[in-house]
Structure formats: C-alpha cells, structure tokens
A and B are shown apart, each in its own frame.
Chain A
C-alpha cells in the first residue's frame, strides 16, 4: 500500500512538472507584452527594452525557464510580480485566504446540507418532503452560479437591504469589537457562501440520495430488515456506511475547487481571491503571478486526487491488499 502511494506520488510530481512547464511556455509565447503596462506604446524603444531586461524577458525562453525553476524549487521563490513589484508568493498567499474561506465554508455547507437532506429524502422516498426537496435541489443544480448570486443579491442586498452586497469585511472592520468583527464577517459571507454552497449542496444531494436509495434497496439491508433490525440502526449503521464510500471520492475530486477560486462569485460579490488574481494577471500579462497561480491549481487537483486515493485505501479494505 505504501509502495502504491509512493508510485502515485511520483506520477503526480511528474504531472505537476509537465503541467507547469506547459503553462510557462504558453504564457510566454502568447501575444501581449508585459512592458506595455509600464510605458505607453509611444515610448522610445530603449525604454521598452530596458523593461524587458528588468523582467528578464530579453533572455531565451529556456534560460528564463531554468532560472525560474531553480528559484522555485530550491528557494521556493516564485519571483516578483511585474505589475505590482510584490513578492508573488506573498500575493498568492494573500489571495488564497479569502478564497479558502469562501470555498471552504461553501463546500462544508454543501456537504453537510446536501448529505443530510439526501439521506432524509431517501428515507422518505416519494413522500412530499422528498419530492419538494428534490425539485428545489434540481433547480439549484441547473443554475449558473453567477445567476443565482445575482438573484440572491437583488433580493437580500438591494430590495431588503439586510446584507451588504460586496467585499469581505466592512471598511470599518478594524474599529469593531471582537464579537462585532465576527458578525461582520458572517454578514459579508452569508450571500456568497450560500450561493456557492447551494450549488455544491445540490450535487451532493443528488449523489447521497441516489447512493442511499441504492443501499436501502440492496439485499443485505433487506435481509437485515427481515431479521427485524431497528429501522434507525439499519439506516445509520448499515446503509449510511455503505453509501458514504462513493461520496468520499466526490469530496476528493471537489477539493480543487477550494483553490481554483470561484471567479464568478468573486466578481459578482466583489470579493478578493485567486480568481481575480488570475484574471488580473492574465490581463496584465504578469507572467510570474500566472505561473504561480497555475502551479497552485495543479497542486490542488493533485492533492485532491491523492487524498481521494488515500481515503479510499483506508476506507475500502478490498483495495488494501490489491
């Protein structure tokens, strides 16, 4: 099992390496000139050449790449942003925390609400509760996220004016007492988290309801039922345990969402985060930031996969011996 994990790990590192290399090449070859951010097109050619030299873009691509790789691997240094002159590592970290907060809470909400409702609906199959919740969840599942966000905004921020329409915290956040600060965070996060969370919940709902239904109709449950096992015991011990397995891989594969940033939610709700960082970086051709953000995106996908693998190995004894 350890051997299997290690070989998976090596494969992942190779994937990471190739992926980042591809991104590096694409962005450097794509049209768009970072120096145009800093001088008007009318500026003398020498000024642009000076900028290119300063960014290290006057060197051949392979050399830029090896320099970048060396710094990134050895010193964990991803360079300095062309646009803002800040350390890229720091910029990505700064953008990561609001993104993790948003997507983490949304994912948590999605899993809890989705799985709970899914189980409840499965138990009450074809009753009113099941039909009602299933219909609603189907609607959420079918909505583009930004559209749902706009509707929630229109209702709760504009019409009712209960909640703020954007930003992560109020501008007077620092002036508040401790409890008020927490409340401030909550108020600002309710709408974006529920937008994203409802859409996550809808997919978890579908999966867990289906899995639960399958489990409930499986033969060993029927047998247990025949044996007269109490219904609650039946549901939460046997059926639930079995239906959770496919859910774990679903959770694992949704982990990259945590890092990729939810650009549309960020734009609609005016939140800071990785999505906006990436968008701004692409628009300004800020190569170091793009590459670092891409690296994070690869990394997240791989970690998600790896974690799903590990959890599977732990949970499913059949795999342990294979």
Chain B
C-alpha cells in the first residue's frame, strides 16, 4: 500500500512471498553451484553390490537401480535441471519478447501474421511432436530446451504484445513519438523499461513451470542421457518401481516441488509489488 517509490528494496524484502521465495531460490541456486562439490559419491559410479538400498546413513537418499548414490545424483542433477529450465526460459523470453514487440509495435500484417503463428502453435498437438522427436532423433539437452521454449514462447509473445499496445496509447509514448525517435530507440528506451515488471514476474513463473514440464518430458523419454540425470529423469525412473523403491522418485519429487514453489513465490511476490505500485 505504500507509495514510496524510492523504497523498492525494502518493499521487496517486506513482501512475504518475495522474502521466502528469494531465500528458497537462493539456497537452491547455491546447491546447484557448490552442491556437487559436497556430493558424497561420484554420481555416475555404479556399485552393483549396493543396488536399490533404502535411505541410510551411508546413502542418505538411498541408491538407484545401478547402485548409484541418489543424493549425489540429486545434487548433480540440480545443475542440469536448473540449467535446462533457465536456458529454456531465456530462449522463451527472447523469442516471446522480440515477436511480441514486433507484433504489438508495428501492428498491421506483421501483427496478424505473427498472431496466426501463435494460434497455430497453441493448437499444435504437443504430444505428437514430442513423441516423434523422442522416436526419431537422439534426445539431447539442447533438444529438450528447444522443445520447452518452442511450446512456451507464445504466451509471452501475447502478453508483450498486449502490454506494448497499451503503452503505445499512453500520452507519454505519444510524446516520445512526436519527438521523431526511430522505432528501435523508441522500443529500447521507452517501451521495454515499462515491460520490466511484467517480464520479471513471468520469468520466475516460467522457470517454475519449465521444471515441471521438464519432468513430464522425461516421463515421455525426452531429456538427459544416461549416465547423467536431471531431477525429471530421476522422477520418471522411480515411476518404474513405485511399490518397491519409493525413495528413487520421492526425493527428486520433493526437490522439484521446493524449487518450483520458490520460483512461484518470487513471481507472485513481484507481481504483488507491481500491482501495488500501480494503484
């Protein structure tokens, strides 16, 4: 409710969602960066004497089907999972912002054309494409990232387009236009900064949803290759044997949920600050 624009930082911290979100995300990022250094075992080292051991002091999260230490795999997997989500989000934002700006700013046939592409892609049967890719090509991380981004940028493009159009109608921008600035400068200097809040929020929400979608893609067979593992692949490996080795899926699932909650909290909090500063 406060309108003190200069106190952004403290407002950020006093928002409960932002605070908890930042703490969780910070810890998770820390884990991804330095966690692997503390991994008790080599995450790809098979130990056929220690197959499917339940959690114990020796293996805190248990071991998997090949006797690999799940805690180590989880710690190393955090890099892959977060890496995939972050790069997919980056790619999504890049495509979404550029195309959204183009459509919203220039309107006309370009707008129509881009929006029809968005319509087509939104209706595109994703399952079909994913299954086809899994069946035909070698599943790689790059492929996962491209698929994730390819199916997500449309929402961002729509948002950016709508925002851009509404900014264009403001007096502030009309004045800038009257100054005769070229399109490029206008977009960079006047429109983009106004999108910042919205983009920041959606980035966080996107990262969160990328993590969940990545685990679903692993379920369908698209993801990291053995012997490496992301949280998603750990989760879907655990699915094979839910009645016996429950620990395989459990810890990866918890890791995903905590991370997703963290990013969602952050996104929600930012959204709240933004809408408060508007009123």
Contact = CB atoms under 8 A, between A and B. Distances in A.
Does A touch B (CB under 8 Å) in the complex?
yes
B63 interface: no
Interface stretch (B68-76, B124-132, B140-148): B124-132
A171 interface: no
Contacts of B246: 154
A301 B216 contact: no
B114 to A, nearest CB: 13
B110 to A, nearest CB: 15
B136 A19 contact: no
Interface of B: 1, 116, 119-120, 122-128, 131-132, 135-136, 208, 212, 215-216, 219-220, 232, 235, 239, 242-243, 246, 249, 253, 256-257, 260-261, 264-265, 268, 271, 275, 279
B265 A153 contact: no
A158 B243 CA distance: 8
Interface of A: 11-12, 14-16, 18-19, 22-23, 26-27, 30-32, 138-139, 141-147, 150, 153-154, 158, 206, 210, 214, 217-218, 256, 260-261, 263-264, 275, 278-279, 282-283, 290, 293-294, 297-302, 305
Contacts of A23: 124-125, 128
- Report the 10 A-B pairs with minimum CB-CB distance, sorted nearest first: A301-B123, A142-B260, A298-B123, A297-B125, A282-B131, A144-B215, A15-B119, A294-B125, A19-B120, A142-B257
Nearest to B242: A150
A147 B132 contact: no
B256 A142 contact: yes
Contacts of A19: 120, 123-124
A299 B116 CA distance: 14
A261 B260 CA distance: 24
Given A14-B116, A142-B264, A264-B216, A290 B239 contact: no
13 contacts: A15-B123, A31-B136, A142-B208, A143-B256, A144-B232, A144-B235, A146-B216, A153-B242, A282-B128, A282-B135, A293-B128, A294-B125, A297-B123
Contacts of B220: 263
B136 A32 contact: yes
Contact of A279 (B131, B256, B260): B131
A138 B261 CA distance: 6
Given A139-B257, A279-B127, 14 more contacts: A18-B116, A19-B120, A23-B125, A142-B257, A142-B260, A143-B257, A144-B212, A146-B216, A217-B279, A261-B127, A283-B131, A293-B125, A294-B125, A297-B124
